[in-house]
Amino acid sequence: DAKTTQPPSMDCAEGRAANLPCNHSTISGNEYVYWYRQIHSQGPQYIIHGLKNNETNEMASLIITEDRKSSTLILPHATLRDTAVYYCIVRVGPGWGSTLGRLYFGRGTQLTVWP
Amino acid sequence: GAVVSQHPSRVICKSGTSVKIECRSLDFQATTMFWYRQFPKQSLMLMATSNEGSKATYEQGVEKDKFLINHASLTLSTLTVTSAHPEDSSFYICSAKARVRVGTGELFFGEGSRLTVL
């Protein structure tokens, strides 16, 4: 079962920041927050992940609250190509000796970027 | 970067026939591959986990005799939908867990295979 709650849809103007929230109030201490997105009729694409510190990469920033019960994915300058369904997933972290990788997707947030 | 390729990307078949979908990790070895199914306007649903050289582990409610999974090598897993019916029409997606970290990630998705059963 998905352990996250996301708004079903959000809109954002092109060039503006898109802030996508996610609630994961039952997250365990060894679970990370992962974000993926899925453009229509394609496979999911990894965006970013974090444990408790804020993270940033070339695609996005991830802000995790101090109690780790919620997080926000930030796309700093949204483009039309960012229109997709964004999934927030909690899972045990990237360990090589474990049997990780099973992801349980919730409904995600449909982000629509308009010109 | 790491690439996972699925073939075919689209397939149309008659009811009652079996369809095989391949999932290949092109530039890395995958110890584990995962199969998902996605119906229109719905989220991805994990079907099964396959480890190289061993039997697949199916999620609750997924018929293992209906969806045959073979993971014969570290770069190839196949999903066979046996005696397909129109209700099996769906978007099937695989993901592969790299044996060794590739770049900044270890889990990579294929582009999906759309099955339409007439």
Per-residue pLDDT of chain A (115 residues; tens, 9 = 90+): 668 999 999 999 999 999 999 999 999 888 889 999 999 889 999 899 999 989 999 999 999 999 999 999 999 999 999 999 999 998 876 654 445 667 888 899 999 999 9
Tokens of A87: 């999934």
pLDDT (average), residues B9-32: 94
DSSP B59: P
pLDDT at res. A93? 65
Q: What are phi and psi of B113, to 5 degrees?
A: -130, 125
Q: Which residues in chain B are contacts of A43 at CB distance < 8 A?
A: 4, 6, 93, 95, 109-112
Q: Are A10 and A113 in contact (CB under 8 A)?
A: no
Beta-ladder partners of A11: A112
Interface of A with B (CB under 8 A): 2, 36, 38, 41-46, 57, 87, 94, 96, 99-108
Query: Largest alpha-carbon pair distance within chain B?
Result: 43
Q: CA-to-CA distance for A70 and A22, rounded, in angstroms?
A: 6
Confidence of residue B107 (pLDDT cuts 50, 70, 90): confident
Tokens of A6: 């996301």
Cβ neighbours of residue A89 under 8 Å, at least 6 residues apart? Answer: A2, A4, A33, A34, A35, A36, A103, A104, A105, A106
Tell me if B32 and A108 make a contact (CB, 8 A cut-off): no
Strands (E), chain A: 9-13, 18-23, 31-38, 45-50, 55-56, 61-64, 70-75, 84-92, 109-114
**DSSP 3-state of A72:** strand
**Percentage of chain B exceeding pLDDT 90:** 72
- Is pLDDT larger for residue A31 or for residue B37? B37
pLDDT at res. B84? 96
Tell me if A101 and B43 make a contact (CB, 8 A cut-off): no
Q: Does B23 touch chain A (CB under 8 A)?
A: no
Q: CA-to-CA distance for A51 and A94, rounded, in angstroms?
A: 10
Q: CA-to-CA distance for A110 and A9, rounded, in angstroms?
A: 4
Q: Are B95 and B31 in contact (CB under 8 A)?
A: no
Tokens of B34: 């995962």
**DSSP 3-state of B86:** helix
Tokens of A85: 């369904």
pLDDT at res. A1? 60
Q: CA-to-CA distance for A114 and A16, rounded, in angstroms?
A: 10
pLDDT in tens, B53-105: 888 999 999 999 999 999 889 999 999 999 999 999 999 999 998 877 666 66
